[in-house]
Amino acid sequence: MKIDPNKDFGNRECPGCAMEVPANQNRCALCGYEFPHASPAKQRLTRWGAIVMIILFILVFLRVRF
């Protein structure tokens, strides 16, 4: 099985001009759009933080009611 060295990076579509931008570049060469710097791990952490906040809110709400 041959491994393509470019496969690790891949391409993503620029929201500004729909051009394919290499994933290792944070800025579109054509229109200058800057991609958000958040990594997938960080996004997962943010999602877990939101879930914990909702659970805490429900716990507080139940404690106030009963």
Residue 45 as a binder of Zn ion (CB under 5 A): the answer is no
Contacts of 12 (CB under 8 A, 6+ apart): 20, 21, 23, 35
Query: Tokens for 19?
Result: 């051009």
Residue 35 as a binder of Zn ion (CB under 5 A): the answer is no
Minimum CB–partner distance for residue 53 and Zn ion (Å): 35
DSSP 19: -
Near Zn ion by CB under 5 A: residue from 16, 42, 53, 56: 16
Positions in the binding site for Zn ion (CB under 5 A): 14, 16-17, 19, 28, 30-31, 33
